Structure 1
Amino acid sequence: MSSLDLRLNTHFTLTVTSHLRLRVPTQFSYVRADPYAVHVCFTITPAQAVRWTFARELLDQGTEFSVGLGDVKIAPVESFLGQYFSIELESPEGHARLEGPIAPVKSWIAKTYEAVPAGSEPEFLDIDRFFEEPSGR
């Protein structure tokens, strides 16, 4: 079984305050052995990166309509500049709102579904991988 790894490098905009927005390098990754999840890394500074893991289906749906409860909320954003979507993340450490372009993310998500079609995820799930990883994932 291959551990296909799909990556997308792009940029999102982090809203720090109503007057301060930062352009943030962002990497989405998908590993076939973890077929239900997408991993996102927002590089805030060269020394500080924030990593999140959430459902691939949540990201896919969030490019079409508002989804999510709790820690992760994703929704399309209307803009005169083009099609964007937002990802809102919340943890005990704080809250962040990021916005980025829909088109490259939708294209990348489509590639993940080519690699692992919806409904076939159990065939690719590598249970042993989870037992080998340290706790606190």
Structure 2
Amino acid sequence: MAYYLDKSLDMQLVLAPHEHVTVSACLRYGSDDPYAVTFAFHTGSEAPVTWTFARDLLADGILRQTGDGDIRLWPSGTGHHMVLNLALSSPAGHARLAAPLRVVTDWLTRTYRLVPAGQETEGLDVEAELCRMLHGTG
């Protein structure tokens, strides 16, 4: 049985140095995909814009600048004003968003309580997953 941790929050889409737009987002972690986290951005269209990337990348990004290419993360600010910056890049365009660092950190900590680091494969049927990916069965 898979377990999920969702967290709704408001993020800031950075348009210019002092120009931001609030974007509703949902962070999702599932024990059925224990290495990944998903950020879903609700932009007013029917379906949210989703980005899925490594949970370890997010863990590094709350501490220091990390990432390369499509996803870069880094903390900034001081005290209660600290944010996690996400720079996202795709063929459709680029975006920089900021989330309250404390909110993301608290949620990420809960994901590691659900599936501790180093125990990601304990609940997975690796053979069935490989079969599903390679042959569309499982």
User: What is the TM-score of this pair, normalised by structure 2?
Assistant: 0.86
**CA 37–126 in structure 1, closer or farther in 2 if over 3 Å, else same:** farther
Structure 2 counterpart of 1:15, which letter? V
Q: Percent identity?
A: 34
Alpha-carbon displacement from aligned partner over 1:91-111 (angstroms, at most 9, x marks no partner): 111100000101111111111
> What residue identity is the alignment partner of 2:121?
P
| Greater Cα offset, 122-131 or 74-83 | 122-131
| Aligned twin of 1:11 | 10
1:28/1:38 contact within 8 Å kept: yes
- 1:26-65 equivalence runs, <5 A: 26-47=25-46, 49-65=48-64
Per the alignment, residue 104 of structure 2 pairs with 105
Larger radius of gyration: 2
Task: Tell me how far apart the structure 1 counterparts of residues 79 and 103 of structure 2 sit (CA, whole Å).
Answer: 18
Tell me the equivalent position of 2:92. Answer: 93
Q: Name the amino acid aligned to 1:83.
A: M
> Any stretches of 5+ residues in structure 2 without a counterpart?
none
Quickly say closer, same or farther: Cα 1:97–1:117, change in 2 above 3 A: same
Q: Which runs of 5+ in 1 are unaligned?
A: none
**Structure-1-length-normalised TM-score:** 0.86
Distance 1:33 1:80, change over 3 A: closer
The AA in structure 1 aligned to 2:111 is: T
Partner of 1:117: 116
Which structure 1 residue ranges, 4+ long, deviate > 6 Å from structure 2? none
Report how far residue 82 of structure 1 moved: 1.1
User: RMSD value over aligned CA atoms?
Assistant: 2.1
- After superposition, the Cα gap between the structure-2 partners of 1:129 and 1:20, relative to the gap in structure 1 and judged at 3 Å, is farther
CA drift at 1:124: 2.5
Greater relative CO, 1 or 2 (CA 8 Å, sep 6+): 1
Amino acid at match of 1:49: P
Q: State whether residues 34 and 124 of structure 1, in contact with CA within 8 Å, keep that contact through their aligned partners in structure 2.
A: no
1:34/1:126 contact within 8 Å kept: no
Partners in 1 of 2:19 and 2:47 — Cα distance?
Answer: 18
The Cα of 1:15 is off from its aligned counterpart by 1.5
